[in-house]
Structure 1
Amino acid sequence: MRRIIQRLIAAIVLSIGIVAAAVGTSYGQDKVVRIGYQKYGKLVLLKSKGTLEPKLAADGYKVVWTEFPSGPPLLEALNVGAIDFGNTGEAPPIFAQAAGAPIQYVAYEPPAPKGEAILVPKDSPLKSVADLKGKKVALNKGSNVHYLLVKALEKAGVKYSEIEPVFLAPADARAAFERGAVDAWVIWDPFQAAAEAATGARTLADGSNIVSNYQFYFSSKKFLEANPKIVDAVLAELSAVDDWAKGDIHAVAEQLAPSIGLSVPVVEVALRRQAYGIKPITDAVIADQQQVADAFLALNLIPKAIKISDVARRPGT
């Protein structure tokens, strides 16, 4: 376990350096909002709709978009001042806060437990999560699925130390999964839906009755304190896009599919497992997120205890 933690910390430090060098902070004092997004989600829709730019232009702000492969490097970019706003799932902010990143939770989407799952090949002899004992399990380190794996194993009576986690980004994990280099893959949509459609992958367990699988929106503390109205404007436009999306999922799938390189039916499956609504942070959500942090601390996956309430923006502030 100690070696795993050391490798995780080393990878995070290296990634922070890469993010800082690649994205930089060259915008200086320009009035700009730098938004980090992933290939799939509400921020992609907001970017493609193009409604945020004219909204913020009225206040003299430009919008700069930067894509990230997953949540952990996105929050690393927020940590080093390379972006001002972004979103991830439950687990990445736990690692980020424990590492001292100046993040602020500003909004969330309701739970979507079916939007992540533990997959096995269609012909795998594994029939339950309990069968993962002693097996190689691929996952993106520090992502939402990290927490799903922890809690699913706990529910099945298997210790985290009794499986062999293989930390891989989604594309590399898919390749390892298909060639049989790992026994299972813990992954989120739309990669989950794509693997199911392309390989016939079976689900050992999704998040139902195990984890919430929230999506959170973040700002850096510095940007939020200096520009609370701009953060509110971004959230308002996100909410408008969200309202459109939940009313016409097929149209959303048609718009997203070309940009993420998946078929419309696959994207539609993923969208129907997603949750809708952009909501202010509540005490109940903070309590749920605190459980994630406490679980990671108990497994020594983070180096110290953290309080989610310390970095959560409450309504009206």
Structure 2
Amino acid sequence: MNNRRDILKLALSLPLISPLLATSKSSTISVNGLKKGLKFGFLPIADHLLISAQGYFTNPGYNLVPIKFSAWSDLAEAFKAKAIDLAFILAPIALELRAQKTPIKALARAHSDGSSLNVRLDSKISNFSELKGARIAVPSRFSSQYFLLDRILHSQGLSLKDIKPIDMSPPEMQAALFHKSIDAFIVAEPFGVISNLRGISRTLVYSKDVYPNHSCCLLCARSEILDSTLLESLKVALLKARMHLLPNKIGQKDSIINLVLDKHLTRFDDLALKKEHLVELKDFIVREKLSRNIKNLNIDDFMEDII
């Protein structure tokens, strides 16, 4: 693979592997009898396979085994059940897992920005104030997108109580919009771009224009597998992957990659954890009474910044 288009195409095309196939007691598996395989959970979002797709991860004891999920809830349950070791996961879900005593640590941001609010192509909704009463799909109430939606609504004097949020897996959103089961959806790319290119939707706003450099997904790992060697391997892999993204692409540009990466809808230049962002997300979850567990969560104990 020699360009960014290949990375995203691989991430989108890998077969779905059910978490039920994972071992119940330990998620590490032998690879060729030499190294243990660290199961790495992800959803098919632009950046989520960078480390393993490019072969940047090298470690004397481990290989990465990518496992594709179609829903955040399934990935979260796999983390809780020790069916995966690492994951790119929505920051609010990671906070809730930690608050539930799941022994995970946040190591880095997977990216910043990278979401969009989309309405049907023929929708009469043209500004935020017209979202009142709309049925809006979100990946989860424990998602960065739900937090961003709240921010969008508040800019017009509205709140989440003024719309009808519907939890929905990202791959299902464009079909639901096409069949008019929902009026809008907010999601991470490339799902919005794909829906737009298919003539199903148009973007009302990109998250980078609502909250520049906001956190979305985090790289998290189970605490018990972490040691200095593994942390360094992950750091090097992330930084090399990031550097691969920054130069100009070579070759024919794919329309999806062009929109997501060349227009900087998703950013990779700052992968360091942002404590203030995590505190904001925690406060939002508490304010909206989404969790009974998270109020006393210590953000500092959750963070193990490797960047």
| Deviation at residue 233 of structure 1 after TM alignment | 0.2
Q: State the TM-score, normalized to the length of structure 1.
A: 0.78
Letter in 1 for 2:280: Q
Which residue of the partner structure matches residue 96 of structure 2?
95
Deviation of 1:160 after TM superposition, in Å, equals 1.0
Alpha-carbon shift at residue 240 of structure 1 (Å): 0.8
**Displacement after TM superposition at 1:96 (Å):** 2.2
Determine if contact 2:47/2:110 at 8 Å carries over to the other structure. no
* 1:8-19 mapped onto 2 (5 Å cutoff): none
What is the distance in 1 between the residues matched to 2:194 and 2:218? 23
* Separation (CA, whole Å) in 2 of partners of 1:202 and 1:27: 41
Alpha-carbon spacing, 1:302–1:286, altered in 2? closer, same or farther (3 Å): same
Residue 308 of structure 1, aligned match among 287, 299, 302: 299
- Specify the code of the residue in structure 2 equivalent to 1:309: D
Gapped regions of structure 2 (runs ≥ 5): 1-16, 31-35
2:47 to 42, 51, 56: 42
Residue 267 of structure 1 is matched in structure 2 by 257
- 1:29 Cα deviation from its structure 2 partner: 8.0
3-state secondary structure, aligned to 1:238? helix
Superposed CA RMSD in Å reads: 2.6
Partner SS, residue 138 of structure 1 = strand
Match of 2:74 in 1: 73
Instruction: Name the residue aligned to 1:277.
Output: 269
Normalising to structure 2: TM-score of the pair?
0.80
Cα distance in 1 for residues equivalent to 2:28 and 2:90 = 29
In structure 2, C-alpha distance between the alignment counterparts of 1:221 and 1:144, rounded to whole Å:
23
In structure 2, the residue corresponding to 1:97 is in which secondary structure?
helix
**Pairwise CA distance, 1:214:** 3.6
**Whole-angstrom distance in 2 between the partners of 1:29 and 1:174:** 36
Give 1:312 shift: 0.4
Q: 1:287 aligns with which of 276, 284, 307?
A: 276
Q: Which residue of 2 aligns with 1:118?
A: 117
| Aligned-residue offset at 1:69 | 2.1
Higher mean C-alpha deviation, range 178-187 or range 30-39: 30-39
Secondary structure at the counterpart of residue 88 of structure 1? strand
Quote the Cα distance in structure 1 between the aligned partners of 2:84 and 2:27. Answer: 10
Q: Sort the Cα spacing of 1:301 and 1:268 in 2 relative to 1 into closer, same or farther, 3 A.
A: same
Identical columns (%): 19
User: Which residue type is aligned with residue 37 of structure 1?
Assistant: F
Moved more, 202-211 or 183-192: 202-211
CA distance in 1, matches of 2:135, 2:165: 6
Task: Note closer, same or farther for the CA distance 1:136–1:279 as it changes in structure 2 (3 Å cut).
Answer: closer
Residue type at the aligned position of 1:307:
N
Structure 2: distance between partners of 1:265 and 1:86: 27
Q: Quick one: structure 1 residues 200 and 19, their matched pair in 2 at CA, closer, same or farther if it must change by over 3 Å?
A: closer
Residue 150 in 1 paired to residue 150 in 2?
yes
The change in CA–CA distance for 1:248 and 1:131 in structure 2 (over 3 A counts) is: same
Q: Separation in 1 of the partners of 2:270 and 2:225?
A: 20
* CA distance, structure 2, for counterparts of residue 67 and residue 40 of structure 1: 10
Which segments of 5 or more consecutive residues in structure 1 lack a partner in the other structure? 1-17, 255-263
Aligned residues between the structures: 278
* Per-residue deviation, 1:200: 5.5
Q: 1:134: which partner in 2?
A: 133
- The structure that is helix-richer by fraction is 1
User: Equivalent residue for 1:219?
Assistant: 221
